[in-house]
Amino acid sequence: MSLDKEKIKHVAKLARISVDDAKVESLTKDLNSIFKFIEQLNELNTDKVEPLTSILNQSLRSRKDEISDGKIREKVLKNSPKENEEFFVVPKVVE
């Protein structure tokens, strides 16, 4: 797999990272060499191996269906960029 500049810009946009054109150049080089390194793994045949998503052979811990949280609006809104007393207030997003 090799990455071109467009792909780098696209990934940066998805990750909400601002990247200027000069940076794109060096990022493309760096990331391509990282991918090249990772691609050595393709030499192994993993056809019959399930992807390992957790090293713990346990099942999910669950909780009872009870109301035990909430009613902490002040705390929740504390880090809002702007707020009024009830809502998070963000720049207009509208279709």
Which letter does DSSP use for residue 60 in this model? P
* Of 22 and 67, CB closest to another protein: 67
Which letter does DSSP use for residue 37 in this model? H
Looking at residue 94, its amino acid is V
Rounded to whole angstroms, the Cα distance separating 54 from 41 reads: 19
* Of 21 and 69, CB closest to another protein: 69
Which parts of this chain interact with another protein (CB under 8 A)?
Answer: 10, 13-14, 16, 53-54, 56, 58-73, 75-77, 79, 82, 84, 86-95
* Of 43 and 65, CB closest to another protein: 65
Q: Work out whether the CA dihedral 42, 44, 50, 54 comes out positive or negative.
A: negative
Q: How far is the CB of 8 from another protein (least distance, A)?
A: 14
